[in-house]
Amino acid sequence: MQTSNPIEGVVIASVPSSTLTASNVDPFREDFKRVMEENQGLKILILDLSELTFMDSSGLGTLIALLKKSSEYGQEIKLVGLNKEVRVVFEITRAYKLFDIFETTEEALRVVE
């Protein structure tokens, strides 16, 4: 998982795969937990999903579990860059109500400021 250097209380992480499914959620979950632990002092984690082209229920379940975990660290997860197919998963399941979702990283950063 690629992360940016923390910028004013924010770290940006990118999903390293084009899919987030039952076959690869475990390494993703562990990588993102590591990012949360390494950045405990930061309030905002932006997760860039722009490379993600497909996500199944395991992927969504993992994101929801990570959202709950982030609150234990006093952090918020903001999602950016959802393509049409991934956005549909959030709309059908109403998971968009759980997350702050933005079109771009710049948009998410403006809200943080």
pLDDT digits (tens, 9 = 90+) for 71-103: 998 999 999 999 999 999 999 999 999 999 999
Kindly indicate the confidence band of residue 50, based on its pLDDT and cuts at 50, 70 and 90.
very high
Q: What is the pTM of this model?
A: 0.89
Mean pLDDT over 57-81 rounds to 94
User: What is the extent of the structural domain holding 42?
Assistant: 2-107
Is residue 113 situated within a structural domain?
no
CATH no. for residue 63?
3.30.750.24
Long-range contacts of 30-37 (CB under 8 A, 24+ apart): 31/1, 32/1, 32/66, 33/66, 33/69, 34/1, 35/1, 35/3, 35/11, 36/66, 36/69, 36/70, 36/73, 36/75, 37/73
Q: How many separate domains does the chain show?
A: 1
